[in-house]
């Protein structure tokens, strides 16, 4: 394994952790009757770190509507792409 591949894989792992944290925080704020105050700050940080990657994908892949609900496929596509790139980076 090369040092560059390890570094890239590590950075992708960190981004993946932030993506998962964003997902958990979004659900926590949405479902909790009274979310803790720290969750709003943490959610803001996770959005600032992930939105530069998610926003361009959202412009290309629109949410899928099912009745009154819209499913954001951009998050899923970015998550899968990061996992794939992480696997490729660690195999370098």
Which of the residues in the chain have pLDDT under 50? none
Six token digits for residue 19 = 């993506």
Say if CB 43 and CB 29 are below 8 A apart.
yes
The domain in which residue 28 lies consists of 3-90
pTM: 0.86
Q: For residue 12, what pLDDT is reported?
A: 96
Q: For residue 1, what pLDDT is reported?
A: 60
Q: For residue 40, what pLDDT is reported?
A: 85
Q: How many domains does the chain have?
A: 1
Report angle CA 7, 78, 20 to the nearest 5 degrees.
Answer: 75
């Amino acid at each position: 394994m090369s040092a560059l591949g390890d570094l890239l894989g590590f950075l992708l792992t960190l981004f993946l952790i932030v993506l998962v944290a964003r997902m958990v925080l979004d659900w926590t704020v949405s479902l909790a009757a009274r979310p803790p105050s720290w969750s709003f700050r943490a959610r803001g940080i996770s959005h600032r770190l992930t939105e530069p990657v998610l926003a361009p994908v959202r412009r290309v892949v629109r949410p899928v509507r099912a009745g009154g609900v819209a499913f954001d496929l951009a998050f899923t596509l970015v998550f899968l792409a990061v996992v794939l790139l992480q696997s490729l980076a660690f195999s370098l």
